[in-house]
């Protein structure tokens, strides 16, 4: 079985699939597409027009959560809990991770200061919810074992590496468990290797190109 991950260099949803593939220690090819100029073969493979897509030989699976579920169903080690209730809870927190990504997008696209601060407060609230459910000891979302939820939040926290260097700080100041979780995820090889060496620079340029309140603040910070 040949696995090909159809990718975009900045897509956090691609990253979660790449992380799960790496945790399974399975060989796969990664193929980037230009989402501004989508080839016909990609449109056929991805009805929603988004990355990631996983090609299993010539069969396509789209949507990152579905891809991760397929990989966990078919390849060891299992990253979801064995217990059905806990597995359902983890799936719910995967969806929560997607909602955090949506808020991050609203943050970097915010057109003015009021909208930016509103999205900042929304992010603070979501991270406070995570602080409340993280285990006291960790190091991962559900304790000692790495899970798909961890694969989802590695790319979430990666945004803040770039945001903090651009002057946007304080998101995790009063959240010690989230800070510790973020640090552990950042050090995990599968998460580090889910992006290329130019990722931080490309994301920085992406933020600047938005023409948003964040773009303006980054320019001021660099001046």
Q: What is the pLDDT of residues 123-177, one digit of tens each?
A: 999 999 999 999 999 999 999 999 999 999 999 999 999 999 999 999 999 999 9
**E strand spans, 46-124:** 53-56, 59-62
* Mean pLDDT value across residues 54-60: 97
Instruction: Say what the pLDDT of residue 161 is.
Output: 98
**What's the average model confidence in pLDDT over 211-219?**
98
Predicted TM-score (pTM) of this structure: 0.97
Question: What pLDDT score does 108 carry?
Answer: 98
Choice among 10, 11, 53, 67 that is catalytic: 11
Distance CA 47, CA 62 (A): 8
11 has catalytic annotation: yes
For the record, the structure tokens of 175 come out as 């959240």
- Evaluate if residue 208 carries a pLDDT over 90: yes
Say how far apart CA 167 and CA 164 lie, in whole Å.
5
Question: At residue 82, does pLDDT exceed 90?
Answer: yes
Separation between Cα atoms, residue 18 and residue 15, nearest integer Å: 5
Roughly what angle, to the nearest 10 degrees, separates helices 176-186 and 148-165? 100
Query: 12-50: per-residue pLDDT in tens?
Result: 999 999 999 999 999 999 999 999 999 999 999 999 999
**pLDDT band (50, 70, 90) for residue 223:** confident
For the residues 1-6, what does the mean pLDDT come to?
96
Alpha helices in the chain (DSSP H): 12-23, 40-45, 64-74, 84-108, 113-133, 148-165, 176-186, 189-192, 199-208, 213-222
Computed over every residue of the chain, the mean pLDDT equals: 97
């Amino acid at each position: 079985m040949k696995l090909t991950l159809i990718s975009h260099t900045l897509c956090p949803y691609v990253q979660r699939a790449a992380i799960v593939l790496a945790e399974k220690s399975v060989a796969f090819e990664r193929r980037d597409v230009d989402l501004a100029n989508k080839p016909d073969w990609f449109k056929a493979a991805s009805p929603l027009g988004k990355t990631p897509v996983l090609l299993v030989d010539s069969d396509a699976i789209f949507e990152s959560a579905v891809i991760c579920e397929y990989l966990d169903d078919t390849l060891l080690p299992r990253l979801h809990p064995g217990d059905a209730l806990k597995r359902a809870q983890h799936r719910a927190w995967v969806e929560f991770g997607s909602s955090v990504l949506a808020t991050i997008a609203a943050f970097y696209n915010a057109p003015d200061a009021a909208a930016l601060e509103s999205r900042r407060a929304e992010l603070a609230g979501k991270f406070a919810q995570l602080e409340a459910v993280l285990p006291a000891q960790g190091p991962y979302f559900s304790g000692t074992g790495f899970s798909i939820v961890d694969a989802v939040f590695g790319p979430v926290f990666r945004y803040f590496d770039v945001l903090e260097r651009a002057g946007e700080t304080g998101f995790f100041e009063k959240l010690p468990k989230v800070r510790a979780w973020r640090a552990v995820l950042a050090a995990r090889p599968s998460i580090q290797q889910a992006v290329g060496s130019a990722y931080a620079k490309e994301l920085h340029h992406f933020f600047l190109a938005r023409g948003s309140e964040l773009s303006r603040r980054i320019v001021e910070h660099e001046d």
